[in-house]
């Protein structure tokens, strides 16, 4: 499932980044209705340049997705200072970041695009999966395992535990947004959801070493 990322994926020239930004904006606005002409106009460049730089429309889309996906940053957690409270706060912060990322218009547009083209052989779906769902898992797993080593969490399989966490945090939010359901999450709601999901996760996987609440 790992996808070959362009070696120089983050070495776009400033001018190219302007183009990619324009493409991303148009993607959010018009979805897959994005045309090469529109990108060229928005970025004040010629189509010929687009084709020279990115090969074809697919290449431009792929570059855009990679470029944006690489910007997703998930917080790392310091394993040294591990006490029940900081563990829980780390997980809760992770939940908050995950939820606000997924609920953002950029994520929705990017996932829509990738899903639309998921059956083709350009790896858009795989790229989004790798930089989204799977990267999240890789980032949180060390935290979970640290919690387990410290006897604050109990689970057999970190992957399975993460998947449950993923479900508890996102629930139906992502699919509803992807399907065009117009509902927005305020910062306050995101915070409350993150706290709820974290509580539930500790209820399912916590030990008595960990803070519990209901």
Partner DNA sequence: GCCGAACCGTAACGTACGGTACACCTCCGA
Partner DNA sequence: TCGGAGGTGTACCGTACGTTACGGTTCGGC
**Number of C-beta neighbours around residue 151 at 10 A:** 12
Q: Look at residues 45, 73, 72, 74 and name the one whose alpha carbon lies nearest to residue 60.
A: 45
24, interface contact from DNA, a second copy, none, CB < 5-8 Å by kind: none
Chain positions 86 to 115 lying near a second copy, rule: CB under 8 A, are 111-112, 114-115
Q: Is 116 in the site for DNA (CB under 7 A)?
A: no
Is 170 within 8 Å of 97 (Cβ atoms)? no
Closest CA to 178 of 80, 120, 109: 109
Pick the stretch among 27-35, 85-93, 164-172, 180-188 that binds DNA (CB under 7 A).
27-35
The tokens for 177 are 């947004």
45 binds, among DNA, a second copy, none (CB under 5 to 8 A by kind): DNA
Tokens of 207: 């030990």
DSSP 31: G
Q: What is the DSSP letter of 9?
A: T
Q: Using CB under 7 A, which of 2, 4, 11, 44 touches DNA?
A: 44
Among 21, 25, 28, 51, binds DNA (CB under 7 A): 51
Indicate whether 125 belongs to the interface with a second copy (CB under 8 A): yes
Q: Which two tokens stand for residue 57?
A: 């429309």
Give the whole-angstrom CA distance, residue 69 versus residue 91. 22
Q: Which of 101, 200, 207, 209 binds a second copy (CB under 8 A)?
A: 200
Per partner kind, with CB cut-offs from 5 to 8 A, the member of a second copy, DNA, none near residue 119 is a second copy
Interface with a second copy by CB under 8 A: which range of 3-11, 15-23, 144-152, 168-176?
168-176
Instruction: Write out the residues near DNA by the rule CB under 7 A.
Output: 15, 33-37, 40, 44-49, 51-52, 56-58
């Amino acid at each position: 499932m790992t996808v070959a990322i362009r070696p120089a994926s983050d070495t776009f020239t400033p001018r190219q980044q302007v183009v990619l930004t324009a493409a991303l904006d148009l993607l959010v606005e018009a979805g897959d209705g994005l045309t090469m002409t529109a990108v060229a106009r928005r970025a004040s460049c010629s189509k010929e340049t687009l084709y020279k730089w990115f090969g074809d429309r697919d290449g431009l889309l792929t570059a855009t997705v990679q470029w944006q996906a690489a910007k997703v940053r998930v917080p790392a957690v310091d394993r040294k200072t591990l006490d029940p409270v900081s563990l829980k706060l780390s997980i809760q912060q992770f939940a908050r970041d995950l939820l606000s990322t997924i609920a953002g218009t950029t994520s929705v547009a990017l996932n829509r695009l990738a899903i639309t083209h998921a059956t083709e052989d350009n790896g858009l779906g795989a790229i989004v999966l790798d930089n989204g769902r799977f990267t999240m898992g890789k980032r949180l797993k060390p935290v979970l395992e640290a919690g387990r080593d410290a006897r604050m969490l109990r689970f057999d399989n970190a992957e399975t535990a993460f998947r449950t966490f993923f479900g508890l945090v996102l629930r139906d939010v992502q699919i509803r947004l992807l399907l065009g359901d117009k509902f927005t999450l305020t910062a306050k709601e995101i915070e409350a959801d993150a706290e709820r999901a974290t509580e539930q996760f500790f209820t399912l996987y916590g030990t008595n070493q960990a803070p519990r609440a209901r």
